[in-house]
Amino acid sequence: MSGDGSRQRQSWAARHTQKTRQTTSKVRANSIENILAEQEYRIDAFAAPQTAKDARSRQTYSTSGGYPGDLSAGTFSSTSSSRQGSSNGSSSGGSSSSSSAWLRKTKLVCTIGPATGSRQELFKLADAGMSVARLNMSHGSHESHKAVIDLVTAYNETGRGCVATMLDTKGPEVRSGDLAEPIPLERGQSLTFTITEGETGKDRRVSVNYDGFIDDVSIGDELLVDGGIISFAVTGKTDTDVQVEVVDAGVLESRRHLNVRGKSATLPAITDKDWLDLKFGVDAGVDYFALSFVKDAQVILDVKKWLSAQGSKIKVLAKIESADSVKALDEILDAVDGAMVARGDLGAELPLEDVPFWQNQIIQGCRRRGKPVIVATNMLESMISNPAPTRAEVSDIAIAVREGADAIMLSGETAYGKFPLKAVAVQSTVALRTEAAMTRYQGARRFGTDEAAPIDWVTPPGRRSSSSSGGPSDGALSEMFAYHSTTMANTVGAPLLVFSKKGGMPALLSHYRPNKTVFAFTDDAQVQRHLALYHGVIPLLLSFSDDAEATIDAAIAALVARGYLAKGQVVTLVQSGKRPIWRSASTHTIQVRRVESKHMGSSSSLDDD
């Protein structure tokens, strides 16, 4: 008996080992390493897609099962032809269906620099999934940034996708001066920073670009170089000099960024250079400003007032990256159009262990207000020089997605890194897999996750102003319809279709995080680009005719032509918002429509910009 039991245990162990090997093989086949290994082929294949459908197809997660979040059946696809089946079972005749492809909802912001500033590389980056091109005004010239803006415009005109531009100001910074040569520093050595100009390292004296540096620093403070790669303890100071002792050794080079831990420099919120850069951005037609080192709401209000006087509709984002900004977080988020969690300087001015807490606070603060939020800095830092990410970096991306960020950003990884396209592929892949898993195992996003509170009203019903008749205001009705449209779309398993003049209703729908994509049609190219930042929204440009049915049919036909919809599928049509289109101001509607034979032709009048 014992011999039989032994043989049974051995047999079970053998079967278990074989099953484990098979499972491990499947996991490896779908792993990031395999995706990266195939990336060179994929980059070549996607370098010049013939249609917008070809360009879009690599931003999908295909599932052969009946549910878009069924990870056990899923494979990442590089061609639209690999998508099969239908999530709602309504596709007939075996035609391919976009509902079987999980479209990534989290947007990607990529910094453009020497590695990606050419037409070929920027187009590849956009084809790989970039939604917003970031212009870092700490580097480059107005001429080089204008060349990038022109390339983004050219890309949008091809019809392969929609990319917005974001001008990121340099902001007020304290930097060391030019050195005759780098200075090696060992623990315990002394150094002097001085506001006296022209000190280039001789006698271990280094100039600083800001006279107020003396007043901002106190004996005992911790002084950081570039966020902590070198650190000093402040041991003394005079009217012109600050004496420090090396705590963490390193090599000091020219023009390094200096921070005092726990303090913000008393510099003006916007420098003269920043104002010149903002004026350049208005003239060049960028879509977003990201203001660095915002301390309070007043600077946001000042810039918005200035933009209004310029007749500009550029949206203003606040970079939360200083000790002062977290103290005034609520008033800043109330004033801005969106925010960026700029973790580099935030981690220099605050204790590092506080950064995850404030990241979540900033994300949830934007979510409550229905405003887009970007998580930035060091997401794939190792991929600046390495072809694959660390496991911690992969988890970092997943956490930002689970917390509800609208977008995640790459900085040096795409600006000057060796593997910019692989970095984008990793971000896209991890975001896709995380989103699909969340929907599969947790249901509708608006009910929250372990990291993100449930999504509530932007304006609670009890605080909404009423119309003159005593009923809800138009704004209140719009938000109610966005909420219930999301409920209906989730119930029937359909994407949402909305037409918008200003972008308000697509933004509300994005706020409620529907399970499927929001297809937002607008006749304003700048509104289209603004919506490129919003979670789960695919913005498309379409000329609106006076005939509502003709325009709706044209939009559905365009989605069919691009592979987003197939015959027999249903779509939730929302007609609401502060600015009525084809309806009276007092009428708001939600409809469920099915894709019919009349939508299967190629007569769409869709324009791309």
Percent of residues in the chain assigned helix, strand, coil, to nearest 5: 40, 20, 40
Which residue's entry shows tokens 């004496």?
243
Q: Are 522 and 539 contacting, i.e. CB atoms less than 8 angstroms apart?
A: yes
Catalytic residue among 111, 116, 165, 377: 377
Q: Are 341 and 376 contacting, i.e. CB atoms less than 8 angstroms apart?
A: yes
Which residue's entry shows tokens 């918008």?
500
Is 513 an annotated catalytic residue?
A: no
Catalytic residue among 42, 104, 134, 295: 134
User: How many Å apart are CA 49 and CA 124, to the nearest integer?
Assistant: 10
Q: Are 537 and 511 contacting, i.e. CB atoms less than 8 angstroms apart?
A: no
Is 175 an annotated catalytic residue?
A: yes
Kindly list the distances between the CA atom of residue 242 and the CA atoms of 212, 216, 245, 362, 452, in Å, as whole numbers in the listed order. 12, 11, 10, 34, 44
CA angle at 529 for the pair 528 and 530, rounded to the nearest 5°: 95
**Other Cβ atoms within 10 Å of 603 Cβ, number:** 12
Q: Is residue 239 packed enough to be buried (19+ CB in 10 Å), middle (13-18) or exposed (0-12)?
A: exposed
Q: Are 227 and 207 contacting, i.e. CB atoms less than 8 angstroms apart?
A: no
User: How many Å apart are CA 404 and CA 398, to the nearest integer?
Assistant: 10
User: How many Å apart are CA 83 and CA 79, to the nearest integer?
Assistant: 8
Which residue's entry shows tokens 């915002």?
294
Catalytic residue among 56, 107, 295, 319: 319
Pairing of strands 74-76, 315-320: unpaired
Q: Are 407 and 42 contacting, i.e. CB atoms less than 8 angstroms apart?
A: no
Nearest to 115 by CA among 473, 423, 405, 460: 423
Is 440 an annotated catalytic residue?
A: no
Alpha helices of 404-473 — where are they, by DSSP H? 412-415, 420-442
Is 459 an annotated catalytic residue?
A: no
Catalytic residue among 175, 205, 440, 502: 175
User: How many Å apart are CA 77 and CA 60, to the nearest integer?
Assistant: 7
Q: Are 433 and 71 contacting, i.e. CB atoms less than 8 angstroms apart?
A: yes
Which residue's entry shows tokens 């590092």?
352
Catalogue the active-site residues. 134, 175, 319, 377
